Chains A and B, each alone.
Chain A
Amino acid sequence: MNVSGTSFLSRGFPVPHALAISNASVSLSDGVLRMIEVTHHVGSVIPKAWTTAPIPRTVRGEEKKGSDEIAGILRAVASKQGVKSAVALIHEGDAYAYVVRMPAAAEEDLHAAVEASLEANVPIPPTDVIFEYGVVRRDDMRGELVVAVCAISRHASDACADLLHAAGIFPAGLETEARALARAVIARGDRNTHALLSVMERHSVVAVVERGFVTFSSSIEVGAADLDQAVAKTFSISPEEARALRRTKPVKKEDVHNNHAREEDVFEAMIPVLSTIRDELSKVLSFARGQAMKDGSDKDAAVRDVILCGADALFPGFSRYIAETSHLPAIAGSAWVNALSVERHLPELDRESSMDYAALIGALIS
């Protein structure tokens, strides 16, 4: 089985290593540093080294505070892995993803047309915005183009690039979490619309992805750490013990029954936090349904399923909970869909951990 959608040309004639500006990506949000380095082999992206390290938490918009300490840790990790350049992930809270319809005639100068749409969709002055866009599809009935736009502020871009620069890492590019996740977990050439739900350390990302393009995204400040706190409070244990309790699976057969009861208790303890995530997902899905109904013509625009990302979205009962509350199938994503064929290259990074690195892997997939 080949990596989804890779062409013969890309497998047979891969880009020379010397031309690849970077084979590493880094995430510095929620007080956790994650870095992964990959190698490219016959169209596959194979993880080579990966690191997770705690860093001081910074308040978004005030990244300068504590940046020296973060840069020091980043420098140490990068020099240990031999990373000299990297793509960095931008917190989804700093990104503004939207979809805009434009007359087909605007295709000749799409950049200017997209730039003109910023004022109405992004709460930052257009001069302070950096944006990327892509044509999702053409609506021939209406003679329109459906364009997905993603914008971030110059301030957020510079803060992230400066931090990498201060750590002695050449910033090869930046990518938003939702766009990187979409590139990792949604197969190339998939023409359907999916919802992504990624539970990260201290925030969760909900995004709508149509034909591989992020058409809407949202970030809420609720994540795995909040699940740990909820379990810790219920069972009167430390957050570290709570995390271990959430993630530990039974080894012996006789433990399975007891474990089932324990899982129910743990799940109940997490429900207040999960309901926040569920509400955000419901809002995004309602918005996506509204958009699809407004479009009317294209059945592919309706959300088909919810893809769960992040190691903390894989705990028992979560996918059923999301499926029942969203009335959509909820499936666990795979970080390897576009990266490699597990039959050819069994990655050393296990499935659970790979879900924490999914966005970082996606940032390195072209």
Chain B
Amino acid sequence: MKTFLTEQYAKAVAREYRGRLVFVASALSCIAFLAAIAFALPTYFLLRAKADAISTPASYPDSLSNVESSAALLKEKISAAETVADEERMAAIVEKILVRAVDGISVTNISLRRDTGASAISLAGVADTREDLVAFQKSLESEPLFSKVVLPVSALAKGKDVHFSFSIDSDF
């Protein structure tokens, strides 16, 4: 283009071309800008929502108190659950003892004590005969749950109506 044109017309063609070049560059820039806006909009709205959530002063204490109350409630539930579990375990211990209390053995008192380190069971009662007491002792010792079963030797002094008191170590 612009070949063989005199300066006046050649300048006009050059001016026209520059104008078109500016138009095309502007149009491309606008398209690129609009495309950038279109792609950035979802991210903008997401960030805006997050910023709003963080910056709203009333919502933070509300949510914190909710969390605290929820935690307290959960703690209570855990405690209650633990209590129930302890009771169930203790009932099981008592049951295991009573199952072994064959004829001739009368259990008058069972006390269970649990410390942080170890747990202990005190068992008191009356045996008809010494043999019954010895059999009861062996039966208790065979229980895997009881790590140590102690019967004072003095308890074996009498032959009949023997009052006994076991001290049992157990991890319950």
Scoring B6, B12, B17 by chain A CB atoms within 10 A of each residue's CB, the highest score goes to B6
Q: Does A175 contact B (CB under 8 A)?
A: yes
A175-B3, A175-B4 in contact; A18/B9 too (CB < 8 A)? Answer: no
A16-B24, A19-B21, A170-B16 in contact; A157/B1 too (CB < 8 A)? Answer: no
**Residues 17-50 of B at the A interface (beta carbon under 8 Å):** 17, 20-21, 23-24, 27
Q: Does B2 contact A (CB under 8 A)?
A: yes
Is A170 a contact of B5 with CB atoms below 8 Å? no
Residues of A within 8 A of B (CB): 16, 18-19, 21-22, 85, 87, 90, 130, 132, 152, 154, 157-158, 161, 170-176, 366
A16-B24, A170-B12 in contact; A21/B17 too (CB < 8 A)? Answer: yes
A21-B13, A171-B9 in contact; A176/B23 too (CB < 8 A)? Answer: no
A174 to B9, CA, bound (A): 10
List, sorted by A's number, 29 A–B pairs whose CB atoms are closer than 8 Å: A16-B24, A18-B20, A18-B23, A18-B27, A19-B17, A19-B21, A21-B1, A21-B2, A21-B13, A21-B17, A21-B20, A90-B4, A130-B4, A130-B5, A132-B3, A152-B4, A154-B6, A157-B4, A157-B9, A161-B6, A171-B9, A172-B13, A173-B2, A173-B13, A174-B3, A174-B5, A175-B3, A175-B4, A176-B4
Which chain A positions have C-beta within 8 A of B13?
21, 170-173
Instruction: Give me 15 other A-B pairs in contact (C-beta within 8 A), A90-B4, A154-B6, A171-B13 excluded.
Output: A18-B20, A18-B24, A19-B21, A21-B1, A21-B2, A21-B13, A21-B16, A85-B16, A130-B5, A157-B6, A161-B6, A171-B9, A172-B13, A174-B3, A175-B3
Which chain A positions have C-beta within 8 A of B3?
132, 173-175
Is B17 a contact of A171 with CB atoms below 8 Å? no
Which chain A positions have C-beta within 8 A of B12?
170
A174 to B21, CA, bound (A): 22
Which chain B positions have C-beta within 8 A of A21?
1-2, 13, 16-17, 20
Which chain A positions have C-beta within 8 A of B1?
21-22, 87, 172-173, 366
Residues of B within 8 A of A (CB): 1-6, 9, 12-13, 16-17, 20-21, 23-24, 27
Is A19 a contact of B5 with CB atoms below 8 Å? no
A196 to B130, CA, bound (A): 142
Q: How far is the CB of A24 from chain B (nearest CB, A)?
A: 12
Which chain A positions have C-beta within 8 A of B9?
157, 161, 171
CB nearest to A21 among chain B residues: B1
Q: How far is the CB of B30 from chain A (nearest CB, A)?
A: 13
Scoring B4, B12, B16, B20 by chain A CB atoms within 10 A of each residue's CB, the highest score goes to B4
CB nearest to A85 among chain B residues: B16
A171 to B4, CA, bound (A): 11
Q: How far is the CB of B136 from chain A (nearest CB, A)?
A: 101
A21-B13, A161-B9 in contact; A173/B4 too (CB < 8 A)? Answer: yes
Is B20 a contact of A158 with CB atoms below 8 Å? no
Which chain A positions have C-beta within 8 A of B5?
130, 157, 161, 171, 173-174
A158 to B5, CA, bound (A): 7
Is B17 a contact of A132 with CB atoms below 8 Å? no
Which chain B positions have C-beta within 8 A of A16?
24
A171 to B6, CA, bound (A): 11
A346 to B48, CA, bound (A): 57
Which chain A positions have C-beta within 8 A of B4?
90, 130, 132, 152, 157, 173-176
Q: How far is the CB of A172 from chain B (nearest CB, A)?
A: 5
A170 to B13, CA, bound (A): 8
Lowest 4 CB-CB distances: which A-B pairs, in order? A174-B4, A173-B1, A161-B9, A173-B3
Is A19 a contact of B20 with CB atoms below 8 Å? yes
CB nearest to A152 among chain B residues: B4
A133 to B124, CA, bound (A): 128
Q: How far is the CB of B104 from chain A (nearest CB, A)?
A: 107
Which chain B positions have C-beta within 8 A of A173?
1-5, 13
A228 to B137, CA, bound (A): 144
Is A130 a contact of B24 with CB atoms below 8 Å? no
Which chain A positions have C-beta within 8 A of B2?
21, 172-173
CB nearest to B28 among chain A residues: A16
A157 to B9, CA, bound (A): 10
Which chain B positions have C-beta within 8 A of A130?
4-6
A253 to B27, CA, bound (A): 61
